[in-house]
Amino acid sequence: MRKREDEIMNKLVPIEYQNQRILTTTQLGESYGADSQLIVNNFNRNKDRYKEGKHYFALEDEAKRLFIDQHQIDLGLKNAKTLYLWTEKGAWLHAKSLNTDKAWEAYEMLVDDYYRIRESPISHKLPRTYLDALEALVAAEKEKQILIPKAEYFDALVDHNLLTNFRDTAKELKIKEHIFINWILDKGYVYRDAKGKLKPYADYVPALFEIKEKQRDKWAGTQTLITPRGRETFRLLLQNNKLSFPPGMQNKTAE
């Protein structure tokens, strides 16, 4: 069995999306010893069990093109209308549906050696400087899902109960809208759905985000808005540019 596990891992090209390891349909099929079409059929038969953003990501149009440009993707997947990316939980559902020894063995291997990105040993060292300590604090708070804002500032915002869109939030934070959006994508607060629309992860609703229905004439849809607590959370994270912005974004605040 160890030989087969080594063969699988040697073939796997690590791919990440929204700050987590994922597998394409082809990669998942090869790992489970199943044809890719079987994976597709299995998904189509059990679609009600799969939740986008939790078990998989579905990329189409521009979102799909951008992802393909950045990664080594199987040629067959490039021609598909939708590119499916499977998370660890999605891989578990597929293994459960296939229910073969080969699939379960492969799933255990994927969890141990692929999906769980190993932490760098340096992360376990005690902080040596104030900057190291501050960075460790931000990372720890992120693990708790939501930062606790300063009470007096947050209370004032809650009293007004104001929800703002991405553009107005960026203006309030004094950064450009596209930089703010790229930042919350990079940090894993939101993701783009199959149509490229920004959607928050369920863990951050309703604390940081709220999804409101809107209707105009014959058009109806939903809009993601940021709560007062969300704005204060992002303000705290962004107040130290060196820690908050992705590389190359420092000092690019809005004029």
Give which of 237, 119, 117, 255 is closest to 183, Cα–Cα: 237
Tokens of 221: 């849809």
Contact indicator for 237, 147 with CB cutoff of 8 Å: yes
As a whole number of angstroms, the distance between CA 25 and CA 83 comes to: 8
Residue 170 pLDDT = 92
192-212 pLDDT, tens per residue?
A: 988 888 999 988 888 899 988
pTM of the complete model: 0.46
Could you tell me which residues are beta bridge partners of residue 212? 223
Which SS3 state, helix, strand or coil, does residue 97 take? helix
Spatial contact of 157 and 228, defined as CB atoms under 8 Å apart: yes
As a whole-number percent, the residues of the chain with pLDDT over 70 amount to 66
The pair phi, psi for residue 37, each rounded to 5°, is: -65, -30
Name the residue ranges covered by the structural domains of the chain. Answer: 2-115, 146-244
Single-letter code of the amino acid located at 231: R
pLDDT < 70 stretches in the chain = 1-10, 72-78, 117-161, 214-220, 240-255
Segment 97-112, tens digit of pLDDT = 888 888 888 888 888 8
Q: Give the C-alpha separation, 126 to 161, whole Å.
A: 40
50 is written with which tokens?
A: 């799969």
